[in-house]
Amino acid sequence: MKKILLITYFFPPSNFAGSYRLASFARYFNKFGYYPVVVTRQAPENAADFRVMAGNCGSDIIFEKNEGFEVYYLPYKANLRDRIYAKYGDNKYVYIRRLLSFFELLLQAVTPFAMPYANLYSFSKNYLKYNNDIKLIIASGKPFQLFLFAYLLSKKYIIPWVADYRDEWNCRYINNNLRINLNEKILFRFESFLERKWTKNLLFAITPTEVWTEHIKNFVGKPCHVVMNGFDPEKIIINDNSKISGSKELNILYLGSLYKYQPIEIFINSIVKLLENNFKIKCVFPGILNEPENEKRILNIVDKFSNNFIIMPRISQKEVYKLMAQADLFLMVGYNEIKGWMSLKVIEYLPWHKPILLCPGNFYMEEFLKNYSLSFVCNSETEVVETLLSIIYKTDKKYEVTSADNVFIDSFKRESQAAKFCEIIDEFLEVK
């Protein structure tokens, strides 16, 4: 069994998509010949808000040994910027926090100890000093400063390392023609320099989408492979007797965050038209309440139908699964400006065997959903209305997945994606 050091900011009990991605690596790697040693920060139970994560957490190191992996949870001591944010939130002392972030940004070019989670580096450094059986280091970003930690550790102990890009980082500006102001351009230049420097001794990278793979490979000049997010089949409860019927309320679920470059207005306007014609529809948005600007985008349109749009704060994974079990239809919203963005929510939608509506479409997600027979792509209000009416009036039989659908869905089990990652590691370690 080869030991791997896995450094991550996000890990359960924090309730973020990145937490579950890294937890799946830890859980399944031992089935494929690797024993992960996880180094992460302590976090409040089910923390799903960055403001909650910004506060102090813990005072002593917690060690947890599990079947097939072990975890070191390190105390988190917030710096001044984080303490201000934790206490006052988004809208107060913004310029002070930006100034403190600026100094942190400059300092990270010369030292790994500028970040409040620098103990992840110092602990890992000390661990490697006394444990010479680690064969590989994996660092997961965001935060991308963990790549600095892995870069330095790899350099000091001559251990290869792998970068898990859960976001494109600087590639997104290059490949999506995003409009950025002067300050953002300066930041982009500076962080691009750091990214290329920190990945000089990288063995290879992984990321969740094919398009990002090409972008990252071209940007850092290193191999990059796709390892997608997955789902845990034992947590999915499928009601085979469920039937969408015009006699009941159509329950639509949108899972996750909403961004300014996602034109959800097309969908919302379509729902309002149907509600005006006395159709029974409920739209549920868990997580949007943490994003006031997006809550306003929805409520400014719905007017007297606000009770039909349930906007909720971030909730636990267990509570999310209850909502998914109750939903008739899952919603995805395309991205206008971001190429290759693969929303994590589609992987979580698939195993429930329910229709998925993408509105509006974009090329990459449309191509992906062609592999799932219960998907619909709409680019106008008229198309959305027609599609929803066809779903509402589908009373003759329930929606059913095909055998091809099942093969496609099964490939996204977390264990399958962990196996794929381990195969890539095997190949590179053998060559090395």
Mean pLDDT rounded to a whole number for the chain: 89
Residues of the chain with CATH 3.40.50.2000: 2-230+413-431, 233-410
Return the closest-CA partner of residue 423 out of 226, 210, 271, 167: 226
Q: Highest mean pLDDT: which of 172-181, 313-322, 335-344?
A: 313-322
As a three-state string, the secondary structure of 210-223 is HHHHHHHHHHHCCC
What does the alpha-carbon distance between residue 380 and residue 131 come to, in Å, rounded to a whole number?
A: 59
Surface-to-core class of residue 398, CB atoms within 10 Å of its CB (0-12 exposed, 13-18 middle, 19+ buried): middle
Question: Which segment of 86-90, 217-221, 420-424 scores lowest on mean pLDDT?
Answer: 86-90
Judged by DSSP in three states, 130 sits in: helix
Rounded (10°) CA dihedral 419, 422, 428, 432 = -150
Instruction: For residues 84-110, give the mean pLDDT.
Output: 90
Q: Does 317 have pLDDT greater than 60? A: yes
Share of the chain above pLDDT 70, in %: 92
Surface-to-core class of residue 245, CB atoms within 10 Å of its CB (0-12 exposed, 13-18 middle, 19+ buried): middle
What does the alpha-carbon distance between residue 91 and residue 85 come to, in Å, rounded to a whole number?
A: 9
Structure tokens at 62: 């917690």
Q: Does 146 have pLDDT greater than 90? A: yes
- Tell me which CATH code domain 2-230+413-431 carries: 3.40.50.2000
What does the alpha-carbon distance between residue 159 and residue 6 come to, in Å, rounded to a whole number?
A: 13
Q: What is the pLDDT of residues 342-357, one digit of tens each?
A: 677 889 999 999 999 9
Q: Are 357 and 365 in contact (CB under 8 A)?
A: no
Per-residue model confidence (pLDDT) at position 241 = 42
Residue scoring higher pLDDT (185 or 155)? 155
Confidence bin at 244 (pLDDT 50/70/90): very low
Confidence bin at 176 (pLDDT 50/70/90): low
Q: Does 101 have pLDDT greater than 80? A: yes
Per-residue model confidence (pLDDT) at position 239 = 53
Instruction: For residues 362-372, give the mean pLDDT.
Output: 88
Instruction: HSE, CB side, 13 Å, CA atoms: give it for residue 319.
Output: 12
Can you identify the CATH homologous superfamily of domain 233-410?
Answer: Glycogen Phosphorylase B; (3.40.50.2000)
Is the dihedral angle over the CA atoms 286, 292, 293, 295 positive or is it negative? positive
Per-residue model confidence (pLDDT) at position 246 = 43
